[in-house]
């Protein structure tokens, strides 16, 4: 009996020690972005005329520099993007597992947000992907999943406008969301991502490490530090009615280590309750 | 609704009959309760068609069945709540279905329960799950519990699960609760202490909740959330002859939540009690200090729901209709309280004791706020309760200036002869209407109450009970009211009340009562609340029918309260058990 009691006491101690997350200051993060009320980059008539009313789909490619089959998946993603020009956005997400351990400073593409998304979708093998964040699927299923949604009517007209101040490396960003149908959700969010395209660096391939591999669509974190986006309308009830219009404006600086010539803002609107993407949009900052 | 109740009853009966058939030798027990209310318009107390919202009939019922065979016990509870705006229940209790079920095997050494668990560790400071029908409250834990008793007097408990959240599916977002508890009764496990005058029990517990969200987003600010929040408590109960001492201290790590305005301060709570009792005399002194101890399994919960911990009230519970309108509701964010109670019986055959003795009781209780001092963040002083900080600093022994509640009461109960029994009571009450009921800016209630009750036994079966009450409020008829806040004055001003009850033991009683708010500062509020009741009791079945007006008030059980609006109508309650 004594033995059992000792075992129980030890188990209790282990349980107690692992079940407390004692945090240290700072407890809150105030994002380095400046959010303003005035529209920084105006919407033009041309922007709205260019919108064809069809959905823009988000394909997130969960990938890694040490993942041997990932280049093949990236190729599928790029082809799908070409085939569905203007209606498919690709984001290469590098979470934080053994497959993403960088070869050098250039190839550290890991982000905290990407890792949180990865964990939410329970992804533990690479390549994997999500199409409009429905569920995690392997790359052979991407084409069918994309074709399944492409061509449907957009529930939201989402337009990203940017302006870039070269000397300050400052981006002014205006995101215009107009709801075209009533969305039944009490938590609709806008996620704003930084994406850097075409980075040359080592990548594991089927024939060994290719040091001149072109990494496409690399997710560099969210603009405002919010993993799951910002609530579009904090006063909304259980729906956002068709016709509602939101403008989100902010300013931020592009880190020196990123190539501003290949820098994009990817925006997408989600129903946070299901995490599913309703609509996506992107814009190059330059 | 009737249909649903009928189906529920049939289902439960069928289950019971079936169970008795296939598991003969077992014991089936159960209880049922049905409460029905029919409300009507009553312009005298502002009950209009609009406030009734077309929902004139409210019905609430439950059926509980338990089956026991040897070491095995299983139970199920069906609930149906058809609430209306008049019922005062949280609208989320509305619905019906099997609310709880469980199965337990317990052979004395090992006990396992699966299903919905009601339990508490020590005084419940860091873990208590319970169900309270009158409040519409149920925070049971759906999961598993294991109990291990390695030797006499030693008990270990471990449990985990998710709490009930009205009718919301258990798959939906809210935290997991895990807990362990150990208790050691020295007198039972050490032979030398068996039957000793000295008694001691020690206990310790640890509870942790897990929530998956790592951050709370408020506009542009992101609050980093602890996914695992642990709380621990230690307790001791000592006794020596007529003296008893018990204490429990609990602590909780950073637990930012909507309830505490997202502050990261650790929580702590102390509850201690010293008692003395001998024939004819009992005394108890209790003290309590609560600091940031709201502990819920969903950090966005704001009301009486998903509480993991429980804050025991240490106030006198008034049952008489006038003082019970001002019941105290415990304050998880912070309170410091004490209670002192003396009961003394003047012995029989003395001058004051007379033939039967005279019972005297005195109670003093007071609850203050805790002291909160602002803290500095990066050298800059921030307001108390600033989100994303430690919130404030609170010296343990300093008492806050604000008095939430004070109750001084004195009672004499005297049996005059075989036929007459007399009870007199005086109460002095301070009640912080702003803090307790949320009427921000309302003036505190400073009231005195007198209560008298006479019971006259006509013969062995028939008796009459007459009750008279009066309340003197510090706000009178001529008070200069704030016209923007008529809600401040709903139950203010002087009241008078009486009750006459006729009982034909043991089956039947009738009563008529009136409460009259004659001194309300708003002349429209000077209303009578007349009610008539009939009750019938046979074996385990009790039927009570009452009709009339009910005044606005709080229904509180164990310091947890719900507000009941004023209403007019008839109600019936049927309870039975077998």
Which residues in A lie closer than 8 A to residue B154 (C-beta atoms)? 5
Q: According to the model, what pLDDT value does residue B558 have?
A: 75
pLDDT tier for residue B306 given thresholds of 50, 70 and 90: very high
Mutate to test the interface with B, among A20, A248, A251, A252 (most CBs of B within 10 A): A20
Q: Which two tokens stand for residue B88?
A: 């005062």
pLDDT tens-digit series, residues A227-247: 999 988 877 778 899 989 999
The pLDDT of residue A1 is above 70: no
| Nearest CB neighbour to A23, from listed B210, B220, B226 | B226
* Binary contact (A21, B228; C-beta < 8 A): yes
Cα(A260)–Cα(B82) distance, rounded to whole angstroms?
62
Q: According to the model, what pLDDT value does residue B7 have?
A: 47
* Binary contact (A20, B224; C-beta < 8 A): no
Cα(A286)–Cα(A188) distance, rounded to whole angstroms?
29
Please tell me which residue of chain A has the smallest CA distance to B387: A28
Q: Which two tokens stand for residue A226?
A: 């919010």
B447, β-bridge pairs: B429, B473
The pLDDT of residue B16 is above 50: no
Kindly list the distances between the CA atom of residue A241 and the CA atoms of A35, A51, A145, in Å, as whole numbers in the listed order.
25, 20, 28
User: Which residues, numbered 254 to 283 in chain B, qualify as contacts with chain A under a Cβ-Cβ cut-off of 8 Å?
Assistant: 254, 256, 264
Which residues in A lie closer than 8 A to residue B387 (C-beta atoms)? 28
pLDDT tier for residue B133 given thresholds of 50, 70 and 90: confident
B223–chain A nearest CA distance, Å: 4
Q: According to the model, what pLDDT value does residue B90 have?
A: 83
3-state secondary structure of B297: coil
B337–chain A nearest CA distance, Å: 29
Q: According to the model, what pLDDT value does residue A5 have?
A: 64
Contacts A–B by Cβ distance under 8 A: 87
Q: For chain A, say whether B299 makes contact (Cβ under 8 Å).
A: no
pLDDT tens-digit series, residues A35-77: 777 888 998 888 888 899 999 999 999 999 999 999 999 999 9
CB distance B405 to B432 below 8 Å: yes
Element spanning B79, H or E:
strand B72-82
Q: For chain A, say whether B150 makes contact (Cβ under 8 Å).
A: yes
CB distance B145 to B177 below 8 Å: no
Q: Can you tell me the mean pLDDT for B404-411?
A: 97
For B534, other C-beta atoms within 10 Å of its C-beta total 14
For residue A26, is the peptide bond before it cis, meaning its omega torsion is within 30 degrees of 0?
yes
Q: Which residue has the higher pLDDT, A127 or B8?
A: A127
B490–chain A nearest CA distance, Å: 31
pTM (global) more than 0.90 = no
The pLDDT of residue B511 is above 60: yes
Q: According to the model, what pLDDT value does residue B21 have?
A: 52
Cα(B312)–Cα(B181) distance, rounded to whole angstroms?
19
CB distance A61 to A71 below 8 Å: no
Question: Which of A53, A86, A266, A281 has its CA nearest to residue A152?
Answer: A53
| Nearest CB neighbour to A20, from listed B180, B208, B256 | B208
| Nearest CB neighbour to A1, from listed B150, B208, B220 | B150
A124–chain B nearest CA distance, Å: 18
The pLDDT of residue B397 is above 60: yes
pLDDT tier for residue B82 given thresholds of 50, 70 and 90: confident
Q: According to the model, what pLDDT value does residue B552 have?
A: 80
pLDDT tier for residue B557 given thresholds of 50, 70 and 90: confident
The pLDDT of residue B6 is above 50: no
User: Which residues, numbered 104 to 123 in chain A, qualify as contacts with chain B under a Cβ-Cβ cut-off of 8 Å?
Assistant: 116
pLDDT tier for residue B57 given thresholds of 50, 70 and 90: confident
* Binary contact (A16, B156; C-beta < 8 A): no
Q: According to the model, what pLDDT value does residue B222 have?
A: 84
Percentage of chain A lying above the pLDDT 90 cut: 73
Q: According to the model, what pLDDT value does residue A50 have?
A: 87
Q: For chain A, say whether B228 makes contact (Cβ under 8 Å).
A: yes
Cα(B47)–Cα(B28) distance, rounded to whole angstroms?
44
Q: Which two tokens stand for residue A222?
A: 């969210």
Q: For chain A, say whether B220 makes contact (Cβ under 8 Å).
A: yes
Q: For chain B, say whether A24 makes contact (Cβ under 8 Å).
A: no
Q: For chain B, say whether A235 makes contact (Cβ under 8 Å).
A: no
CB distance A175 to A190 below 8 Å: yes
| Nearest CB neighbour to B254, from listed A5, A22, A230 | A22
pLDDT tier for residue B12 given thresholds of 50, 70 and 90: very low
pLDDT tens-digit series, residues A237-277: 788 999 899 999 999 999 999 999 999 999 999 999 999 99
Of the ranges A58-62, B95-99, B325-329, B501-505, the best mean pLDDT one: A58-62
CB distance B552 to B46 below 8 Å: no
Q: Where are the beta strands (DSSP E) in chain A?
A: 28-29, 34-36, 57-62, 88-93, 128-131, 136-137, 156-165, 170-179, 188-196, 199-205, 208-215, 218-222, 230-231, 245-253, 263-271, 276-284
Q: According to the model, what pLDDT value does residue B55 have?
A: 80
Which residues in A lie closer than 8 A to residue B219 (C-beta atoms)? 230, 234
A188 Cβ contact partners less than 8 Å away, ≥ 6 residues apart: A231, A232, A233, A236, A240, A269, A270, A271, A272, A278
Q: Where are the beta strands (DSSP E) in A94-227?
A: 128-131, 136-137, 156-165, 170-179, 188-196, 199-205, 208-215, 218-222
Please tell me which residue of chain A has the smallest CA distance to B391: A27
Q: For chain A, say whether B376 makes contact (Cβ under 8 Å).
A: no
Q: For chain A, say whether B110 makes contact (Cβ under 8 Å).
A: no
A19–chain B nearest CA distance, Å: 5
- Please give the mean pLDDT across all residues of chain A: 91
Q: According to the model, what pLDDT value does residue B176 have?
A: 94
* Binary contact (B224, A35; C-beta < 8 A): no
* Binary contact (B208, A16; C-beta < 8 A): yes
Q: According to the model, what pLDDT value does residue A105 have?
A: 84
Helix axes A142-149, A70-83, angle to 10 degrees: 20
Q: For chain A, say whether B175 makes contact (Cβ under 8 Å).
A: no
Mutate to test the interface with B, among A2, A7, A19, A36 (most CBs of B within 10 A): A19
pLDDT tens-digit series, residues B285-297: 999 999 999 999 9
B187-203 burial, b for 16+ CB within 10 Å, e for fewer?
Answer: beeeeebeeeeebbbeb
Q: According to the model, what pLDDT value does residue B10 have?
A: 44
The pLDDT of residue B308 is above 80: yes
Q: Which two tokens stand for residue A196?
A: 């850097």
* Binary contact (A30, B224; C-beta < 8 A): no
Q: According to the model, what pLDDT value does residue B208 have?
A: 95
Kindly list the distances between the CA atom of residue B265 and the CA atoms of A233, B253, B371, B565, in Å, as whole numbers in the listed order.
30, 7, 14, 36
Which residues in A lie closer than 8 A to residue B169 (C-beta atoms)? none
Q: Can you tell me the mean pLDDT for B419-447?
A: 94
Mutate to test the interface with B, among A27, A188, A252, A272 (most CBs of B within 10 A): A27
Cα(B504)–Cα(B458) distance, rounded to whole angstroms?
10
pLDDT tier for residue A8 given thresholds of 50, 70 and 90: low
* Binary contact (B264, A227; C-beta < 8 A): no
Q: According to the model, what pLDDT value does residue A234 have?
A: 74
Q: Can you tell me the mean pLDDT for B428-457?
A: 94
Q: For chain B, say whether A29 makes contact (Cβ under 8 Å).
A: yes
Q: Which residue has the higher pLDDT, B553 or A198?
A: A198
A31–chain B nearest CA distance, Å: 7
Kindly list the distances between the CA atom of residue A79 and the CA atoms of A145, B465, B481, in Å, as whole numbers in the listed order.
14, 90, 75
Q: According to the model, what pLDDT value does residue B389 have?
A: 92
Q: Can you tell me the mean pLDDT for B532-539?
A: 91
């Amino acid at each position: 009996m004594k033995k059992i009691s000792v075992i129980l006491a030890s188990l209790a101690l282990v349980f107690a020690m692992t079940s407390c997350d004692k945090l240290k200051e700072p407890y809150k993060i105030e994002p380095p972005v400046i959010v303003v009320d005035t529209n920084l980059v105006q919407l033009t008539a041309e922007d709205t005329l260019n919108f064809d009313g069809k959905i823009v789909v988000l394909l997130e490619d969960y990938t890694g520099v040490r993942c041997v089959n990932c280049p093949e998946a990236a190729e599928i993603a790029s082809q799908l993007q070409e085939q569905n020009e203007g209606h498919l956005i690709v984001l290469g997400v590098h979470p934080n597992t053994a497959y993403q351990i960088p070869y050098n400073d250039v190839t550290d593409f890991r982000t905290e947000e990407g890792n949180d998304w990865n964990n939410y979708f329970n992804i533990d093998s690479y390549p994997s992907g999500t199409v409009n964040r429905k569920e995690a699927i392997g790359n052979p299923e991407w084409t069918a999943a994309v074709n399944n949604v492409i061509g449907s009517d957009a529930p939201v007209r989402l337009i990203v406008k940017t302006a870039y101040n070269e000397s300050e490396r400052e981006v002014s960003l205006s995101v215009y969301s107009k709801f075209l149908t009533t969305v039944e959700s009490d938590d609709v969010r806008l996620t704003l991502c930084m994406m850097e395209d075409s980075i040359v660096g080592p990548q594991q391939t089927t024939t060994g490490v290719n040091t001149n591999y072109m990494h496409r669509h690399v997710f560099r974190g969210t603009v405002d530090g919010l993993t799951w986006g910002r609530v579009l309308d904090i006063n909304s009830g259980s729906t956002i009615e068709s016709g509602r219009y939101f403008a989100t404006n902010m300013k931020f600086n592009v880190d020196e280590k990123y190539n501003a010539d290949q820098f994009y803002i990817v925006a997408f609107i989600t129903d946070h309750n299901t995490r599913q993407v309703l609509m996506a949009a992107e814009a190059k900052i330059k | 609704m009737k249909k649903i109740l009928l189906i529920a009853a049939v289902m439960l009966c069928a289950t019971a009959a079936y169970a008795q058939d296939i598991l003969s030798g077992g014991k089936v027990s159960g209880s049922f309760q049905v409460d029905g209310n029919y409300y009507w318009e009553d312009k005298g107390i502002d009950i209009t068609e609009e406030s009734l919202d077309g929902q004139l009939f409210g019905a609430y019922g439950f059926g509980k069945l338990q089956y026991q065979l040897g070491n095995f016990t299983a139970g199920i509870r069906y609930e149906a709540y058809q609430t209306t705006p008049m019922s005062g229940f949280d609208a989320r209790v509305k619905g019906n279905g099997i609310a709880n079920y469980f199965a337990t095997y317990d052979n004395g050494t090992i006990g396992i329960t699966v299903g919905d668990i009601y339990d508490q560790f020590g005084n419940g400071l860091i873990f208590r799950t319970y169900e309270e029908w009158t409040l519409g409250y149920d925070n049971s834990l759906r999961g598993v519990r294991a109990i291990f008793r390695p030797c006499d007097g030693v008990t270990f408990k471990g449990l985990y699960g998710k709490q009930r959240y009205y009718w919301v599916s258990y798959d939906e977002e809210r935290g997991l609760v895990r807990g362990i508890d150990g208790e050691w009764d020295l007198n039972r496990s050490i032979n030398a202490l068996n039957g000793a005058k000295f008694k001691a029990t020690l206990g310790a517990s640890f509870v942790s909740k897990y929530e998956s969200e790592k951050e709370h987003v408020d506009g542009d600010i992101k609050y980093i959330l602890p996914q695992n929040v642990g709380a621990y408590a230690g307790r001791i109960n000592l006794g020596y002859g007529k003296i008893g001492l018990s204490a429990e201290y609990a602590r909780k790590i950073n637990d930012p939540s909507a309830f505490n305005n997202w502050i990261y301060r650790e929580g702590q709570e102390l509850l201690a009690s010293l008692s003395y009792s001998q024939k004819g005399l009992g005394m108890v002194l209790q003290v309590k200090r609560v600091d940031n101890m709201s502990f819920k399994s969903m950090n966005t919960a704001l009301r009486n729901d998903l509480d993991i911990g429980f804050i025991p009230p240490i106030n006198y519970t008034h049952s008489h209709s006038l003082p019970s309108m001002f019941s105290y509701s415990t304050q998880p964010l912070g309170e410091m309280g004490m209670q002192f109670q003396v009961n003394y019986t003047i012995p029989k055959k003395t001058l004051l004791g007379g033939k039967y003795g005279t019972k005297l009781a005195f109670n003093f209780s007071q609850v203050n706020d805790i002291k909160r001092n602002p803290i500095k963040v990066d050298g800059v002083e921030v307001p108390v309760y600033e989100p994303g900080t430690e919130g404030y600093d609170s010296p343990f022994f300093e008492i806050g200036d604000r008095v939430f509640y004070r109750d001084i009461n004195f009672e004499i109960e005297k049996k005059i002869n075989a036929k007459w029994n007399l009870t007199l009571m005086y109460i002095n009450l301070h009640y912080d209407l702003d803090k307790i009921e949320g009427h921000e800016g309302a003036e505190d209630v400073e009231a005195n109450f007198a209560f008298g009750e006479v019971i006259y036994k006509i013969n062995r079966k028939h008796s009459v009970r007459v009750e008279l009450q009066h309340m003197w409020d510090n706000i009178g008829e001529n008070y200069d009211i704030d016209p923007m806040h008529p809600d401040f004055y709903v139950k203010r001003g002087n009241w008078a009340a009486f009750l006459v009850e006729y009982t034909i033991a043991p089956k039947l009683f009738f009563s008529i009562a009136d409460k009259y708010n004659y001194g309300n500062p708003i002349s429209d509020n000077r209303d009578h609340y007349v009610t008539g009741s009939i009750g019938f009791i046979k074996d385990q079945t009790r039927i009570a029918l009452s009709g009339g007006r009910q005044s606005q008030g709080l229904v509180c059980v164990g310091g947890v309260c719900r507000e009941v609006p004023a209403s007019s109508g008839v109600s019936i309650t049927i309870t039975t058990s077998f």
